[in-house]
Structure 1
Amino acid sequence: MSCFGKTPENQPPMDQSCEVASLQQIPLSDEAIALQQTAGTPTFKAPVVLVERTLQIVVESDISLDPPASEIKRVTKNVFLDQVKLVPVRFRRIGTTDFFEVTRAKLFVSGHIRKDIEYATRDCFGGIRDRIAEVPFSGFAEIRENEFLNFPVIGISDSSTARFLSEKSDIEPRLDKFFFQNLVKFNEQPFGELLGANFFELDFSPKHTKRGGEFDTLREKIVLDLFLKVLQVQQWRVAATRTLPIFDEGTLGC
């Protein structure tokens, strides 16, 4: 008998050995690539972290169960953010420009907690039921000057008008002639990034249920610690070193 069992009579005999072919690998040389470095002050445009905060959200809700439950087996949760908006309320001018740093703001947050509830019914041989519920939440937080890691930057738009005197009389204005000037600055919108969530939860039936009984409503009280950061794309000039690889002879330009 071979490693593969008996060989059928109508087929040629197979190799009786269990060994397979292998190829021993040859070690390759390994060395670092030489680098050419040039110091400079490049300009970058990239997301900058404005603030990192932990928001505590407290919600209470009633979830209906159909068919009724006799026992809760497992509850899993996740959080989804629908909105993260930073509304500036205090400003500081940057030099003599029309750009301002935001030194105080309201952070509006809204979203929902998605719950997946697995429970058993009263039937002794009944299957496990599943109930998915989405619990909405919303609120705002105060962001003060000392809480910003970097200040948001906002440019203010401006408009001007000019009026004229009548050509026939220097004491009468023309009501049909105006000059308009509008300066519009388009700003990068601050945006949110979800970092994590920590749930503290108490679930119970609002009506006392005796042993073997059923309940069709699950009341939940949730304390959610929501971890998020707010960013804005900004342009910065920083000290940096440009690095280029140096190859052996034979490359173009040698």
Structure 2
Amino acid sequence: MFLRDLYASARRRWYLVLAGLLITAGMSFWVFRVAPVTYEATANVALIPPPTAVISGDNPFLYMGGLDQAMGVFTVKLNSDSVRGPIEDSYPAAEYSTERDSSTSGPIVRVKVSGDSSATTLEVLNRVLGVMPATMASLQDELSLPQASRISLLTLGVDKDTTLVSEARTRALLVVAAIGFAATLLLTGLADKRLIRRRGKKHVGAIPSPTDDFTLSESELPKRSRAQRVPVPSGSYSGTAPSVTTSPEQHDPVADLRR
């Protein structure tokens, strides 16, 4: 019943619905222009075991299973303030994260960078990739490891272009469009009821004037001839009651015979 009334109100006040839809479209366009979007880029870096851990002539990738602990220490160091601080100060609108790549079982670090522009995102990604070898070297320098026992890094893949992430803008557009459409219908229904109520009050307050369709003027009254006029007793004009004439007593023949 409510939807039927709302549909009827929208049909009667179609101009209000049109105005509301235009306002909603304008607000949606404004949100589309100002809503923030994010650009993302990723890179994968693998840890390579040292030469001393590999049998001469074997493939180093076959010995990557024992580097999980080293990768954990490495990612913690990359996320520390000493490494993140200079990068975040140089690019305050960008963020990055370094974690183990869950899609593989090997010691592979996944670097993910997000920023407000494509150029900034790629710059931060290259900056993090440039810091990673120095960070690994500093960790091994603290342990005074010989060169033959040091872990090296191998960059597996780097995004050359960024990916546009517009989920936040899409959600904002859907919310604004839904609120605008619902508000248009509800306000149209309320305005329609108020206008109908106001019109009803005007009709009830107006008192119809008596019609003069059956009133006749003196000139239009039918004139009777003297023969059709009813005589009026003269006493009615003088204000006295008309005299009543009494008939003489009737003669009773039966009474005479009895005498």
Q: TM-score range by the shorter chain?
A: under 0.3
Where is the helix percentage greater, Structure 1 or Structure 2? 2
In the superposition, the TM-score normalised over structure 1's length comes to 0.23
In the superposition, the TM-score normalised over structure 2's length comes to 0.22
Where is the strand percentage greater, Structure 1 or Structure 2? 1
